[in-house]
Structure 1
Amino acid sequence: MSGLDRAGAELTIDLAAIRRNYWQLNARLDPDAELGAVVKADAYGLGVSRIAPTLAQAGCKTYFVATLDEGIALRAAVEDATIYVLNGLVGKELEDFFIHRLRPVLNTMGQIERWYDKGQVANKTSVSAALHVDTGMNRLGISTQDVGVLASGPYKYLSLSLLMSHLACAEEVPHPLNRIQLARFSNVLEVLRPNFRNGVAASLANSSGIFLGSDFHFDLVRAGAALFGINPIPSQANCMSEVLNL
């Protein structure tokens, strides 16, 4: 048999290691916090149809994806989970969010207006969404200046299940921006939470943010690459189990 006829390299995914990583991160959380999983881009290319049920077996109930199409694919794998779509309302297919029970993460005032108007017209104001506030990442989310508009305008009656932001430098534990963002996010919660019913949850930390301390955990933490063995704190030894073997 020639070299060209032989099988190439094989990538092995250790599903048990993914479960262990979920449990290890969850054990570091404040007892009142929930550990969600970011499985965007087909679970970072590993196959969401297998990864998501594995995480569900470990106890995961809340997932985050990037796009509507990813959310629809994930819904087929975890029928009863809560699924948030990070890019929010991109495109015109708002009805698909209702059909597949997906929750958009609203990142702009325009998205907030579209979601609110759609809910009013369809009498579906009970369908929840998340609101993303930019506290320093400078990528997605409404500005802190817009928070005051939301608190006083008609959108204060918007049905929200989650208020979230994203840490820009969480992998650098001593970085001063971490505490600055924590203070900004806490102020946002103080302004907005009284306006929304049903005890809207809060989420600030990603995988690396877990290691900043319980002040950053709030109600929900969004773990991503660390679930798959990537070191959440590069300056320290990797405490995560290896998931991939080539």
Structure 2
Amino acid sequence: MASSAERHDLLFAAKLSEQAKRYDEMGDAMKKLVMMKVELSPEERSAFSMAYKKAIEPLRSSWGILQQGKSNEEINGAKQKVIRIREFQEKIESDLSSICEEVMSLLDKHLLPFTTNDENRVFYLKMKGDYYRYMAEYKTESEKKKAISNSLKAYQTAIVEAEGLPPLNPIMLGSNLNYSVFLYDIVKARRRAMAVARRTVDAAVGEIEGKMLNKEVYEDSMTILDLIKDNLARWAADVPLGSDDLFFVLRRFSL
């Protein structure tokens, strides 16, 4: 059984690595802590999430830049440049897959089976949806469909299990935010994404009125709500694409 001293040392090492911007080492420390198969504290949970977020974000950004460059060269008919860009993308995709698969393994084998905390469970399911979403960004054909299906399933399970949490709970809000982004960007179910976002904002606004809230929770919740509102404002200018009711989405991705 993991001792509190071991957990404290690993969390300290992770925080130190984060301050030094050595995110690989931050990830190594949190991986060791997670593999102890313990119920993570909010601080440990946040550090675990941040370690892998910092590792994957630069890769996602690099892949997106190359994808735009590839599209431009395809328009220009520069076949050799397209081939070179694609070769570079494949290297990045290999790194992306390694990170995503490691996160999935930690979630499925060491976190979800051992948590009895409702917030932790929703957080892990949301994180699972996120990393399948990241895979869907660069996978193709059957692998892309599988990643989308798995992401959809994880997000929807998180949403259902978050029903017992208050409408202003930051983890619940974060799940709805990321689910709506997934629907909009990956599935192209734009009206459905906007409906999820609007419902989340309406429920949260109703909860705010006349209630005294913890300052930290309030600030976290308001930050997420602002992101949802920003998305709604941006999405409102776009034209919906095709049939995007929930039945269509579920049927399309075989859930």
Task: Give TM-score scaled by structure 1 length.
Answer: 0.28
Q: Which has a greater percent of helix?
A: 2
Q: Which has a greater percent of strand?
A: 1
Task: Give TM-score scaled by structure 2 length.
Answer: 0.28
Structure scoring higher RCO (CA < 8 A, sep ≥ 6) equals 1
